[in-house]
Amino acid sequence: MARLPLILLCFFLLSAAKGQSSLSDEIIFRIQVKVSKQQQTISGLDDVTVIQTEQGSYTYFSGSFKTYKEADEYKSKLKSKGFSDAFVATFRGKTKISVADYQKIVSKNPEAPKEAAASADSVTKSDGTPVDSTIQRPDSVENNSFEKDESAVDVSANLVKKILEESSCPTLVKDAEALYNNGSYEECLALLDKGFKDCGFSRREKEDAWVLRAKVNIEKDKVPDVQQALVRLLRINPNYKPLEGAYQEDFYSYFSKIKVRPLLSTGIFAGPALPVFKTLKTYSVFDSVNYSSPYRSLPGNQEGIFFELAFMKNISITSAFSYTSYAYKRHLERGTVYFLDYKELLHYWTVPAYLKFFFTCKKINPYFIAGGSYSKLLKSTAELSLQYTSQDALTGIIDEFTSGASGIDQKPYRVNFYTSILFGAGCSYRIKNFLFSAETSYSLGRNNIMNPDAEIRNTDLIYKFYYIDNAVKIDLVTTKISVAYILHYQVKKTK
């Protein structure tokens, strides 16, 4: 008899523990309305539960219901108030579970005792540590009433089963969205996997599918899978910009850590070209004629195509193929008896190759360039006019002579190849898949463009017009506008 009180005490403690255990496993339904990185106040709602995830983000729920039907009706009310992303979330005790997990629980326990809504005294993180929260339950939820939620089983199970069985490629992404809104995350991912495998998604459908996959994995707190989905999204559409306020706050945080930059582009350019002549050595025919007269530049033009490869974050290499033409003129005179005007037009194929070093800014990206170019002379034609006055020594009569020529082929008397050192600066601006650039460069010529050995054999100019060229090299100043189309992007996540 002495042991009877002890036995009764043990029986009482075991019964209390069992009751507490069953209470911790009770099933309730809440409406998830928002996810944010920082804790916020949700305006327009009085009954809000805040749960902090292991990653530190905050998930906001409204309401607490013992049946799916009641929760679904409340969800519709929230959507009408502007909470467009609201969906029903299922909890077992203090742990959020999927609808599929809930169906398994119910199917394995058909004779389970009636359950009650979870206690609202505290909400915990997934690791068990408490987080401050406030819950105001609707009057329809009672702390001690418990019953098997047949409506949730019927509605959710039938919805999921119907979607999985009847979904076809044209509506698959929308069907997966419905599963996501229903809280059936695993089923949503499985349906998307099926779509990627069996359906020829359009570009827009692929975008929507990867956005949805990122949203699901945010709910599941699978950060690597979120990042992978966003990388795949931006590879499909590098110019994708999420609408503000359309997704969870974590979506925008993860999205901002995915960097996109042009990798390979091709385009065209055009602009003026101005030669700068530097005399290396002066040749003369008449001693009294000033053959050191300067070469006066006449502006020309340059146009071509180019390819650009951004092999490092702020460095790219550019190779181009361009057509360049420019001209110069000279004026020679001897007192009042000899006047000669000479003009020559040169045409080149030019192949520049150079590095671009960028300074990253928000919109306009300035850069400077350094490299070299190789030029081949295509054609060189000249024209000249001569006025010559002579006086007869016996009669004193003054005679004036005029002469000229055009279309003179000067290519045999020019160096057909020459190289230059190239440097300059510019800026670029990107609009979607196009890059617009403005650039100024200076090509520093390295060799004499005149062929001194051939010059002395140019007898027509020397003996008929008393003209000879000096040894000169050419520098070239160009300003060009370019438009490029981006062929390929590099998409990578940052820390």
Confidence of residue 7 (pLDDT cuts 50, 70, 90): low
Cα–Cα separations (whole angstroms), residue 309 to 258, 320, 431: 20, 12, 18
List of residues 6+ apart from 102 with CB closer than 8 A = 27, 90, 92, 152, 156
- DSSP per-residue codes, 401-455: EEEEEEEEE-GGGB-SEEEEEEEEEEEEEEETTEEEEEEEEEEEE-S-SB-HHHH
Instruction: Dig out the tokens for 456 from the structure.
Output: 């002395």
162 inside domain? no
Tens digit of each residue's pLDDT (9 = 90 or more) over 313-342: 899 999 999 999 999 999 998 877 889 999
What per-residue confidence (pLDDT) applies to 80?
84
Q: Assign 25 a pLDDT band (cuts: 50, 70, 90).
A: low
- Please tell me whether residues 248 and 183 are part of one structural domain: yes
Do 95 and 37 lie in one domain? The reply is yes
> What is the band of 35 on the pLDDT scale with cuts at 50, 70, 90?
confident
Whether 339 and 410 map to the same domain: the answer is yes
Q: Which of 122, 149, 176 is the last residue of a domain?
A: 149
Of the candidates 325, 340, 327, the one whose C-alpha atom is nearest the C-alpha of residue 293 is 340
Position 3 scores a pLDDT of 57
* Structure token digits, residue 150: 């047949």
Domain stop point among 94, 115, 149 = 149
pLDDT value of position 446: 79
| Cβ atoms 52, 58 nearer than 8 A | yes
For residue 137, what pLDDT is reported? 32
269 lies in the same domain as 252: no
In this predicted structure, which of 12-21, 37-46, 143-152, 430-439 has the lowest mean pLDDT? 143-152
Show the tokens assigned to 119.
């206690």
Residue-range definition of the domain harbouring residue 113:
23-149
Does residue 214 share a domain with residue 122? no
Helix 150-166 vs helix 172-181: crossing angle, to nearest 10: 160
> End-to-end distance of the chain based on CA atoms, in angstroms?
70
Let me know how long the chain is. 495
Residues 10 and 14: their CA atoms lie apart, in Å, by: 6
Mean pLDDT of 415-432: 93
Q: How confident is the model over 113-159, as pLDDT tens digits?
A: 333 333 333 333 333 333 333 333 333 333 333 344 444 444 456 66
CA separation (Å) from 298 to 23, 303, 351, 417, 469? 93, 17, 22, 21, 17
Q: How large is the average pLDDT for residues 48-70?
A: 81
The predicted pLDDT at position 102 comes to 65
Does 196 lie in the same domain as 124?
A: no
Give the model's confidence band at 8: pLDDT under 50 very low, under 70 low, under 90 confident, else very high.
low
**Does the residue 3 lie in any domain?**
no
Confirm whether 7 is domain-assigned.
Answer: no
- Does residue 47 sit in the same domain as residue 67? yes
Structure tokens at 244: 């503000």
| Segment holding 69, helix H or strand E | helix 68-80
Cα torsion angle, 161, 165, 171, 176, sign: positive
230 touches 258 (CB < 8 A)? yes
**pLDDT tens track for 445-471:** 878 888 877 777 788 888 888 888 888
- Give residue 130's pLDDT: 36
Query: Encoding tokens for residue 167?
Result: 């979904």
Strands 338-358 and 364-391, sheet pairing? antiparallel
Burial 437-469 (b: 16+ CB within 10 A, else e): bbbebebbbeebbbbeeebeebeebeeebbbbb
pLDDT of residue 40: 81
CA distance 338 to 384: 13
This prediction has a pTM of 0.67
**Tens-digit pLDDT profile for residues 161-219:** 777 777 888 889 988 988 888 778 888 999 999 999 999 899 999 999 999 999 999 98
In the predicted structure, residue 410 carries a pLDDT above the cut 60: yes
Residues 392 and 468 in one domain: yes
Instruction: State the Cα–Cα distance between residues 159 and 187, nearest whole angstrom.
Output: 11
* pLDDT of 117: 32
Hey, which of 3-12, 416-425, 457-466 has the most confident mean pLDDT? 416-425
273 pLDDT band (50/70/90 cuts)?
very high
Residue 1 lies in a domain: no
Q: Per the domain annotation, does 10 fall within a domain?
A: no
Compute the distance between CA of residue 412 and CA of residue 454 in angstroms, rounded to an integer: 7
Please tell me whether residues 381 and 268 are part of one structural domain: yes
pLDDT above 60 for 9 = no
Q: What is the pLDDT of residue 103?
A: 60
Run of H or E including 35:
strand 27-36
Domain end point (choices 102, 117, 149): 149
More confident residue, 465 or 377: 377
Domain count, the chain: 3
Residue 221 lies in a domain: yes
For the domain that residue 173 is a member of, what is the CATH number?
A: 1.25.40
Q: What percent of the chain has pLDDT over 90?
A: 40
SS3 for 464?
helix
Same domain, 367 and 480: yes
Does 232 fall in a domain?
yes
From the number of C-beta atoms within 10 Å of its C-beta (0-12, 13-18, 19+), residue 44 rates as exposed
Cα(479)–Cα(270) distance, integer angstroms? 8
Q: Which long-range contacts (CB under 8 A, 24 or more apart) does 40-46 make?
A: 44/81, 44/82, 45/78, 46/136
Residue 297 confidence (pLDDT): 93
- The amino acid occupying position 212 is L
CATH number for the domain that contains residue 299:
2.40.160.20
* Residue closest to 59 by CA, chosen among 234, 248, 287: 248
How many angstroms separate the Cα of 71 from the Cα of each of 65, 90, 293, 456? 6, 10, 95, 100
Shared-domain flag, residues 355 and 472: yes
Please state, in angstroms and rounded to a whole number, the distance separating the CA atoms of residues 340 and 88. 94
Q: Do 315 and 407 share a structural domain?
A: yes
In this structure, is residue 143 part of a structural domain?
yes
Q: Would the pLDDT of 112 be above 50?
A: no
Comparison of pLDDT for 30 and 453, the residue scoring more: 30
